[in-house]
């Protein structure tokens, strides 16, 4: 379980998170939505220890996230960014191997894990000898997901993982990601701008406004019982048919 309490964070002198609080149960997939600057990515960066809040607490199964504990806790998290976050000067296989090497994993185990994950995300093994610039955006995202899953983390933090893809590839990968999340049973926090994507992938939607929760619940809750005018306008601005 992830427990976030009274999280406050400022960037560039501007308050981004204002007392944000959220509990995420084991095996739950939560989608964070909101306008640009509403704090979605900042929440993820605080969760993985890239940013430390000025106020508030984050705990993973009762273990507090601190400057001292974040390195150890990061091994329990998989983090995927919009562009995959791959090192351009390394092959796809090297991008994966480096994760295992940093934790002292034997080369034979790295090879076995690479093959296992390639099969899981439906990526041909021969592609792994190429560099990121030599493959498609969908393939880069699959490798980014493989890297996030390499150490079999308990938690997946997904920051617009499909946002840079064309609509056809994005829809295809949404289906694959949904199936994968269900199959693995991970606890997932997904950042997206797309209400339909949140509906397809998550069990609960969190709509943020100015660093705080404006409304949370199912897509139907937001559609039929908007908490305020902001929620109503946000939903109406997207095609939710």
Q: What size, in residues, is the chain?
A: 241
Rounded average pLDDT over 129-155: 94
pLDDT value at position 82? 77
Q: pLDDT band for 163, please (50, 70, 90 cuts).
A: confident
pLDDT value at position 62? 94
43-47, 75-79, 225-229, 236-240: segment of lowest average pLDDT: 236-240
Shortest CA distance to 31 belongs to which of 230, 185, 217? 217
Torsion of CA 77, 83, 88, 92, to 10 degrees: 60
Quick check: 232 and 223 in contact, CB under 8 A?
Answer: no
> For the chain, what are the domain ranges?
1-76+155-162+174-241, 84-152
pLDDT value at position 239? 58
Question: Is residue 181 within a helix (H) or strand (E), and if so which, with residue range?
Answer: helix 167-184
Judge whether residue 126 has pLDDT over 80: yes
Reported as a single tens digit per residue, the pLDDT across 176-233 is 999 999 999 999 999 998 899 999 999 999 999 999 999 999 999 999 999 999 999 9
Q: pLDDT band for 238, please (50, 70, 90 cuts).
A: confident
Kindly report the CATH number that applies to the domain delimited by 1-76+155-162+174-241.
3.40.50.300
Judge whether residue 164 has pLDDT over 80: no
| Chain centre distance of CA 37 | 17
Rounded average pLDDT over 38-47: 95
Q: pLDDT band for 170, please (50, 70, 90 cuts).
A: confident
State the chain's mean pLDDT as an integer.
93
Percent of the chain with pLDDT over 70: 99
pTM for this prediction = 0.92
Percent of the chain with pLDDT over 90: 83
Quick check: 141 and 173 in contact, CB under 8 A?
Answer: yes
pLDDT value at position 85? 84
Rounded average pLDDT over 113-125: 95
């Amino acid at each position: 379980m992830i427990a976030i309490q009274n999280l406050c964070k400022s960037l560039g002198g501007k308050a981004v998170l204002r007392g944000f609080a959220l509990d995420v149960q084991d095996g739950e997939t939560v989608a964070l939505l909101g306008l640009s600057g509403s704090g979605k990515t900042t929440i993820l960066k605080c969760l993985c220890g890239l940013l430390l809040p000025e106020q508030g607490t984050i705990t993973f199964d009762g273990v507090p996230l601190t400057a001292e504990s974040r390195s150890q806790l990061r091994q329990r998290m998989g983090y995927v960014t919009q562009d995959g976050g791959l090192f351009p000067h390394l092959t796809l296989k090297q991008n994966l191997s480096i994760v295992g090497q940093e934790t002292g994993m034997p080369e034979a185990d790295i090879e076995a894990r690479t093959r296992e994950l390639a099969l899981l995300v439906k990526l041909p093994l021969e592609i792994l000898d190429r560099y990121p610039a030599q493959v498609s955006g969908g393939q880069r995202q699959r490798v980014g997901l493989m890297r996030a899953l390499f150490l079999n983390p308990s938690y997946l933090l997904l920051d617009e993982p499909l946002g840079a893809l064309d609509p056809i590839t994005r829809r295809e990968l949404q289906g694959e990601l949904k199936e994968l999340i269900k199959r693995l049973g991970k606890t997932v926090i997904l950042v997206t701008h797309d209400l339909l994507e949140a509906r397809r992938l998550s069990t609960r939607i969190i709509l943020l406004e100015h660093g705080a929760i404006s409304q949370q619940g199912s897509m139907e809750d937001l559609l039929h019982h908007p908490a305020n005018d902001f929620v109503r306008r946000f939903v109406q601005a997207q095609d939710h048919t």
